[in-house]
Amino acid sequence: MSNNVSILFYLKKPKDYTSGVVPIYLRLTVNGKRAEISTSKDCLPDKWNRDSGHMMGTKEESKVLNTYLDTLQAKLFEVHQKLLAKGDIITAIGIKNKFTGVDERPLSLVNIFTDHNNKIKALLGDEFAPGTLERYKTSLKHTTDFLKWKYNLTDIDIRKVDHSFVTEFEFYLRSVRKCNNNSAVKYIKNFGKIIRICIANGWLDKNPFANYKSKIKDVERDFLVEEEIEAIRIKEFPTDRLRVVRDIFIFSCFTGLAYIDVKNLTKQNITVGIDGEKWIFTHRQKTESASNIPLLPAAQQIVDKYKDHPQCINEERLLPILSNQRMNSYLKEIADVCGINKELTFHIARHTFATTVTLTNGVPIESVSKMLGHKNIRTTQHYAKIVDRKVGDDMKILKERLQFNSLKNKEVIVLKII
């Protein structure tokens, strides 16, 4: 990085200035970033030359003041040269602190990252969801592990984070940590937020992410087809735990709600909608966006089934849901019993709602997007891309229509001949 340093002396009038002398300040600029230093001197505005940044005149008063200002400038350039010789990163604040005798504590990456995470923790439930904190905690751990692996350090001066640091961090995530593309990109994205904080605060002069590109790859999302949903619905399970997990999973298949959003449901979330029918009115914990869903009969039956369940009454929940880990463990057991050769997780229910239950049955993608609580319809389009059966059904209707039109035209031709 070039270190273009400039110094300007100027008068800084107070807000309530009316007349008299005005303090003289020094403005130090390095690569477009500024720092301001008081010279402890003053001057009358009509005696100040703005172009030269000095006091006008040849009297002793002017000579003494101008010599003093020249000495300050020379000392600042000397500080600049010493910092260059040491190989330090040159900033306006750094030169100012060295010049004024302030012991500048270099800001470090891990400390800044930790402070960011602590602020998220303090705002849990108000502005951030627990999952957000967990993602940033994992990102911080990957960052500290990378520092140890690459530099044998526990922390690093934030000013030393450059483009090479970012690309090496990505390489570490993909090679050492064995992260797939999307996971690596998400961790780098989280790291990027920390860098943006540093740039906004003036702690970094240059964006390490300049000319860096990464892209999330589309991933085919598993979902259940109609026959698989029915196989789970009609299966007789020998234990209550499997029956409960099955019912809540099916409930999610017909509402599209993620695990945490089902867990947060209470009876108050169900009320009469604009059409006079029962709806679920809630907000997604992940994005805080509204998710309003008409209650389909299959979901309503499950709500009715558990309305008097002891856990629902004691915990004031709509359904007696277990931990996500236990739910997913039991769902694998359910998949085996039902002969479903897919890695069944609770989140597949949400995908199933988006594909088999809604899009495949002709529900417009705009309506599906709104029920899923997506902020951007492009997110919903990921589901639309994989509904091949719907594409096939639509094309079948088109074929039949084309054949009908063709027969109709032939009939017209025959009638004309007759």
Q: Check whether residue 409 and residue 288 sit in a common domain.
A: no
Stretch (H or E) spanning 405: helix 388-417
Query: Domain ends where: 184, 200, 216?
Result: 200
Q: In the listed set 100, 130, 147, which residue is the last one of a domain according to the structure?
A: 100
**Secondary structure class of 371 (helix, strand, coil):** helix
Mean pLDDT calculated for residue range 164-183: 93
Tell me if 216 is assigned to some domain.
no
- Picking from 41, 37, 12, 40, the residue whose alpha carbon sits closest to that of residue 100 is 37
Residue 217 lies in a domain: no
Shared domain check, 117 and 83: no
Tens of pLDDT, residues 252-293: 999 999 999 999 999 999 999 888 899 999 988 777 778 899
Distances (CA, A) of 18 to 9, 13, 21, 45, 359: 21, 9, 10, 11, 72
Query: Same domain for 140 and 85?
Result: no
Last residue of a domain, one of 50, 80, 100: 100
Q: Which pLDDT band, with edges at 50, 70 and 90, does 93 fall under? A: confident
* Same domain for 253 and 175: no
| Pair 379, 403 in one domain | no
DSSP H stretches of helix in 56-180: 60-86, 92-100, 109-122, 130-151, 163-175
Structural domain includes residue 272? yes
Asked if residue 214 is part of any domain, the answer here is no
Q: Is residue 303 part of a domain?
A: yes
Residues 230 and 352 in one domain: yes
Domain with residue 365: its CATH number is: 1.10.443.10
Residue 350 structure tokens: 């949400």
> Helices in 13-59 by DSSP H: which ranges?
none
Is 91:159 a contact under the CB 8 Å cutoff?
Answer: yes
Considering the domain architecture, whether residues 245 and 360 belong to the same structural domain is answered as yes
> Which CATH number is 164's domain given?
1.10.150
State the pLDDT confidence band at 378, using cuts at 50, 70 and 90.
confident
Q: Which residue has the tokens 């002891």?
A: 310
Q: Coil, strand, or helix at residue 26? A: strand
Please give the span between the terminal C-alpha atoms of the chain, in angstroms, as a whole number: 89
**Cα(117)–Cα(111) distance, rounded to whole angstroms?**
10
Q: For tokens 């200002």, what's the residue?
A: 69
Please state, for a pLDDT cut of 90, what percent of the chain lies above it.
53
Give the range of the structural domain holding residue 326, as residue numbers without chain letter: 226-386
| Whether residue 146 sits in one domain with residue 129 | yes
Say yes or no: 123 and 235 in one domain: no
More confident residue, 259 or 101: 259
Neighbour order of strands in the sheet with 5-11: 5-11, 22-30, 33-43
Domain annotation covers residue 335? yes
| CA pair distance 133, 129, nearest whole angstrom | 7
The tens digit of pLDDT for each residue in 323-352 reads 989 999 999 999 999 999 988 999 999 999
Q: Is residue 56 a contact partner of residue 48, using CB atoms and an 8 Å limit?
A: yes
Q: Are residues 116 and 66 in the same domain?
A: no
Residues with Cβ within 8 Å of residue 96, at least 6 apart in sequence? 28, 35, 36, 37, 102
Handedness of CA 294, 300, 304, 307 (dihedral sign): negative
pLDDT tens per residue, range 174-228: 999 999 998 999 999 999 999 999 988 878 878 999 988 888 776 677 889 899 9
Q: Note the pLDDT of residue 14.
A: 87
State how far the Cα of 95 lies from the Cα of 102, in Å rounded to an integer: 10
**231 and 378 fall within a common domain:** yes
Which is nearest to 258 in space by CA: 129, 386, 128? 129
Q: Is pLDDT above 80 for 38?
A: yes
Considering the domain architecture, whether residues 36 and 120 belong to the same structural domain is answered as: no
User: How many domains does one find in the chain?
Assistant: 4
Higher pLDDT, 169 or 408: 169
Structural domain contains residue 206: no
pLDDT score of 386 more than 60: no
Residue 414 has pLDDT above 60, yes or no: no
Asked whether residue 215 is domain-assigned, the answer is no
Q: Which residue has the higher pLDDT, 384 or 69?
A: 69
